[in-house]
Amino acid sequence: MQTILASASPRRRELIKLIDADAIFISADVDETVPEGIENENAPEFLACKKALAIAKNYKNDLVIGCDTTVFIESIPLGKPKDRTEAFYMLNLLSGRSHKVITGCCLCLNGKTLSFSVESSVYFFDLSQETINEYLDTQEYVDKAGAYGIQGKGSLLVEKIEGDYFNIVGLPVSMLNKRIKEFLNENNC
């Protein structure tokens, strides 16, 4: 049995190695539209399962892990910005406030699934337009939920966090490791 991470994220690919150094990666090319009726804060878990199941159908005897991370401010999801203008809007919205980062995870093996979410809170300093533009000049916002990467220069925007740092990066390693062990044990692996 091998571990497969259904993700193209370089951050997740690096972090999964803390759990399984031999993990392999297969990008899940799925439509990330969330159907009506699914609460915003349940969307990351829904999308994580969609990604994991898309890969698991071809790898039934392997442990497939799907993940999705979304930033929420007052229950409003902030995905990946389409461009610099949208990134500026997002960072301005986050300025001086707290927001939630929710990562949904889904494990698939032998037709069985286990899904869960991990939530962390991030508090931003008050950000001037100059500070936001300086950060945007780094291009770090590209392909990042909420338009920032806490593992890079985005950390300079953050006053404090509550919860799992790695969850904010995109993979809640300690909880994921715990749940993998439980899942494998329940499935006699």
pLDDT tens for residues 106-117?
999 999 999 999
Q: Determine the Cα–Cα distance for residues 184 and 186; give it in Å rounded to an integer.
A: 5
* Higher-pLDDT residue of 188, 189: 188
| pLDDT of res. 54 | 96
pLDDT tens per residue, range 58-84: 999 999 999 999 999 998 999 889 999
| 164, two tokens | 């799992």
Provide the pLDDT confidence category of residue 161 given band limits of 50, 70 and 90: very high
- Among residues 20, 31, 68, 143, the one annotated as catalytic is 68
pTM to 2 decimals?
Answer: 0.91
Measured at the alpha carbon of residue 133, what is the angle toward residues 8 and 95, in degrees to the nearest 5? 85
What average pLDDT does the segment 131-141 reach? 97
pLDDT at residue 152, rounded to an integer: 93
Write phi, then psi, for 100 (nearest 5 degrees).
Answer: -100, 145
Residue 132: which of 102, 111, 153 has the closest Cα? Answer: 153
Judged against a pLDDT cut of 80, whether residue 121 lies above it is answered with yes
Number of domains in the chain: 1
CB 77 within 8 A of CB 42: no
If you average pLDDT over every residue of the chain, what do you get?
94
Q: What is the pLDDT of residue 33?
A: 86
In CATH, what number is assigned to the domain containing residue 18?
Answer: 3.90.950.10
The arithmetic mean of pLDDT across residues 132-148, rounded, is 94
**Residue 176 lies in domain:** 3-186
Catalytic-residue membership of 22: no
